[in-house]
Structure 1
Amino acid sequence: MSFTRTLRAVGGAVTAGVLLFAAAPTALADQNRDDQWPLKAFDAQSVWKQSTGKGVTVAVIDDPVNGDHPDLKGSVLPGKSFVDGGRGDQKGMRDHGTGMASLIAGHGHGPGSSDGVMGLAPDAKILPVAVPADGEDASGSSVGSWVRYAVDQGASVINMSINPYYIGEDDKSALAYALQKNVLVVVGAGNDGQSKLSELASTPGVVSVGAVDKTGKVWSKSNSGSQLMLSAPGVEITSASATAGQYRLADGTSDATAYVSATAALLRSKFPDLTAGQIANRLVKSAGLPPGEKGLKLPDPHYGYGFVQPLKALTADIPAGSKNGPLKTPKTDPATGTSGANAAGASGNGKEQGDQGSGLGMGAIVGIAVGVLVVAGIIVIVIVRQKKNGRHGPPPGGFGGPGGAGLPPQPSGPYQQQGAYQQPGPYHQQPGGSAGFPPPAPPTQPPGQ
């Protein structure tokens, strides 16, 4: 059964370019780094003075990640393959997973690590979670199982540059589990050019991401919708290929998602005490808009709260805010099974689940009265029998009978949307507040290498 498809668009001419990159001499290999325009737009050298993602694990739920690629070697954990049950750090037939991992935690190679692809969080670790793609058997595998595995293996950020065809209640429960365990889940909006996000990106509790180009303009194929939270570079993005020494150039919300996940890793490293929702809060409150769009009402269906600005997110004076920040949060606690109605009642908001009144209807009153009479009759009968038989205490198993009557687990309820935030500006704060994305010199000595 075909289960997922990746969120990346690659043109035929670009695919042919992969071979040119692989066969090129060292001088052209350096071109791969020069082509990483997001690093220049983000002012990565300044970003790395604040954080490199050290100590943070990012799960990449995608194709297998080639841990032997020179730009990733030493940064990829074994992980797991939900395709064949083996490890997730093996070279596969597809490039997508390796590409996403390289944008997050690539460290380049060669003298001074100046060649190849550099990730935005070069000291982060990648947990590869290889999942079925188009044409592969997905039996016994689901979004829920992938997410739970990533959470239980210690990931604090989960990158999902994929578009599953179906999201069930167990999958939604797993995403709620991730949030309850303080794990930030970042998801691509989709590449269909529709005014509707992918089903996964529409699921409450995730950070949904659209794509923009180097001018900050929204990519024409980036899906839009009211649930969109952020946007990031996703046009003409150079990343590593699954084959060691090869590289790709492509467009897609996949790449944008990877850059948001990398920024989240930077933040989780610098601010380890912040919750997943508070990390999302810093992402949202530091996001920017291109000069011609600064009057938009946010969240905008195409930009969300704006495009990610890593340097500003790391350095701006932003209050931590509430635990869940801008994330929509579940009304059901996945750890305790407490229903939304009970949670609302405890906080004094008893009408959060619709038309719940403050009093009881006539039918309920009659039912309670009848129940009281029945219980009273049972008690009288028990007392009479006890006197006749000389026994004391309730019937075996208590008044509820052997085993008692249990309540079934309550299903996950809807989520509450927190307040909106607006913070315009370029990809990074520039001296003097000038607009645009001037290209600083590409990094030659990445941190931690």
Structure 2
Amino acid sequence: MSFTRTLRAVGGAVVAGAMLFGTAPAASADQTRKDQWPLTAFGVDDIWKVSTGKGVTVAVIDAPVDGSHPDLKGSVLPGKSFLAGGGTADHPDGKYEHGTAMASLIAGLGHGSGGSDGVKGLAPDAKILPVGIDLGGAGTMSYAKPLRYAVDHGAKVVNMSFEDYADTSPAEKAAVDYARKRDVLVVASSGNTGSGIPRLPAAVPGVLAVGAMDIDLKVWKYSSYGPHIKLLAPGVHIRSAGVETPNRLANGTTDSAAYVSAAAALDRAKYPDLTAGQVANRLVKTAVLPDSMKGKKLPDAHYGYGIVNPWQALIKKMPAGSENGPLPALKDGSSKASGKAQQAAESGKGMSTGVIIGIVGGVVGLLVVVLIVVLVIKKKNGRNGPPPGGPGGFGGPGGPGSPGGFVPYPPNPNGYQQPSAPGWHPPAPPAQPQGR
């Protein structure tokens, strides 16, 4: 019997997901935990034996995060709010719970006996650095300063689960480059418009853009697409921590980006010597594709390189690859190594001209060596960056239908997270949306 037919015979998209990713399903807990189908599909029981994200800080540039939430106590650093009034960002602003939701998907700890109840994140031992911004006015608040703050305060991964309608400013592009030069991986959601119109910041060069898949393991109908898309991740009927209510249920590529940020945190904890680009490379090289996509040119505008597979990204043996991975090289040729040299130069204002010339000469020499190594690797492997397709043997997402006949919510006209629907329990359809 073919793999796809086996999935159909077994039935249930969550079970199909667990088989797809090749790991054991999560242990049974309360209903909220049971509703977290991505954890079951990813096989977190196996993943957490290898990495929990410990020692990695993930910045969440979003609405402020409720650090007192039962599922987030101990995970949230003070951070900084860029909203009017400033201060820390580890408490909700009273308007939006979106940042709290994203933080819980990344580093939620759950609650109750052994943390078996409530919302658990994919990288539960990572720390959340909340960076508060205004989600109310799309295109009215620059993320340039918030991103630089995140980089300067220890983030190794930055999650930007929002979409902007305005053009990217030079300051914002410079902030993305600033992050990359300092070895920080920037992850962003592709948008919830279901169109090919590029959404920002996902379409900014150097950002790891993430689209959404549904519980059928198919591309979500409202997931924005384009040539910049690198990965898909779960983004439909996602249970996360709330503020007005203990938890929420929502759709959106914002959730997908949070899961990819968490997967990156897992890898950064296990492979601390890899660059941000090499971590991205592990994620895309282990991504899963349906049979219908095999042999097609990648990245695909809808699938990118496929569905993120955190388990394989952790355990698969592969060369580190180029330091940029699937991300484009910086225009000035900067890299992790040259970025560190730049930091030293910026802090060494009292150095003599001879010392500065020596540093510059060393950096130039290093770049020449790196260029030679990259060319040799490229010639040997036939291509640089991620290969087309994921691991063999995947029977495609054509297995069972989604439980309960789920129908995605229509896209939010404001461009951010889809409305929550508290009280959902499969197989019954979710309750009516209750705002943001």
TM-score, normalised on structure 2?
0.71
Q: Distance in 2 between matches of 1:298 and 1:36?
A: 30
CA contact (8 A) 1:204 1:329 kept: no
Quote the residue 2:218 is aligned against. 217
Counterpart of 1:98 in 2: which secondary structure? helix
- Structure 2 alignment gaps of length 5 or more: 1-28, 347-362, 370-382, 401-436
Q: What RMSD over aligned residues (CA atoms) do the two structures have, in Å?
A: 2.9
Conserved? CA contact 1:151–1:178, under 8 Å:
yes
Return the letter of the residue paired with 2:33.
R
Deviation per CA, 1:120-152: give whole Å up to 9, x if none. 0000000000001224995xx521101100000
Instruction: Tell which deviates more after alignment, 89-98 or 248-257.
Output: 89-98
Give the C-alpha shift of residue 105 in structure 1: 0.2
1:374-399 superposed Cα distances (whole Å, 9 cap, x missing partner): xxxxxxxxxxxxxxxxxxxxxxxxxx
- C-alpha displacement at 1:290, in angstroms? 2.8
Give the conservation status (yes or no) of the 8 Å contact 1:197–1:228: no
The question of 1:174 aligning with 2:175 is answered: yes
- 1: CA distance between counterparts of 2:31 and 2:297? 39
- 8 Å CA contact 1:95, 1:241 repeated in 2: yes
In structure 1, the residue matched to 2:53 is 53
**Matches of 2:396 and 2:253 in 1, distance apart?**
24
Partner residue in 1 for 2:62: 62
Q: Aligned equivalents of 1:188 and 1:67: distance in 2?
A: 23
C-alpha displacement of 1:420: 4.2
Residue in structure 2 matched with residue 284 of structure 1 by the alignment: 284
Larger Rg: 1
Stretch deviating more after TM superposition (188-197 or 176-185) = 188-197
Partner residue of 1:111?
Answer: 113
How has the CA–CA distance of structure 1 residues 418 and 242 changed in structure 2, closer, same or farther, with 3 Å as cutoff? farther
Is residue 85 from structure 1 mapped to residue 86 from structure 2 by the alignment? Answer: yes
Identity of aligned residues (%): 55
Maintained 8 Å contact 2:291/2:394: no
**SS state of the match for residue 202, structure 2?**
helix
* Gapped regions of structure 1 (runs ≥ 5): 1-28, 349-416, 427-431, 439-449
1:177 CA displacement: 0.6
C-alpha distance in structure 2 between counterparts of 1:69 and 1:242, whole Å: 8
1:99 to 98, 101, 111: 101
Normalising by the residue count of structure 1, what TM-score does the alignment of the two structures yield? 0.69
The alpha-carbon deviation at position 242 of structure 1 amounts to 2.0
- 2:10 aligned partner: none
Aligned partner of residue 308 in structure 1, secondary structure? coil
Is it true that 1:320 corresponds to 2:320 in the alignment? Answer: yes
Aligned to 2:239: 238
Return the offset for 1:197.
2.6
Q: Is the 8 A contact 1:232 1:259 kept in 2?
A: yes
Which of 374, 385, 390 pairs up with 1:424?
390
Q: Which residue of 2 aligns with 1:147?
A: 147
| CA–CA separation in structure 2 for the residues paired with 1:266 and 1:294 | 27
- Compared with structure 1, are the counterparts of its residues 135 and 299 closer, same or farther at alpha carbon in structure 2 (3 Å cutoff)? closer
Determine if contact 1:121/1:262 at 8 Å carries over to the other structure: yes
Alignment-derived partner of residue 122 in structure 1: 124
Q: Which amino acid aligns with 2:31?
A: Q
Task: Give how far 1:434 is off.
Answer: 7.1
CA distance in 2, matches of 1:46, 1:433: 19
> Could you report, residue by residue, the CA deviation over 1:392-438 in whole angstroms, capped at 9, with x for unpaired residues?
xxxxxxxxxxxxxxxxxxxxxxxxx9544223259xxxxx9777799
Q: Deviations over 1:165-212 (max 9, x none)?
A: 331011101100100000000011111011133131111111000000
Between the aligned partners of 1:420 and 1:317, the Cα distance in structure 2 is 14
Report deviation, 1:46.
0.5
Pairs aligned (count):
332
Aligned to 1:248: 248
> Aligned equivalents of 2:139 and 2:64: distance in 1?
15
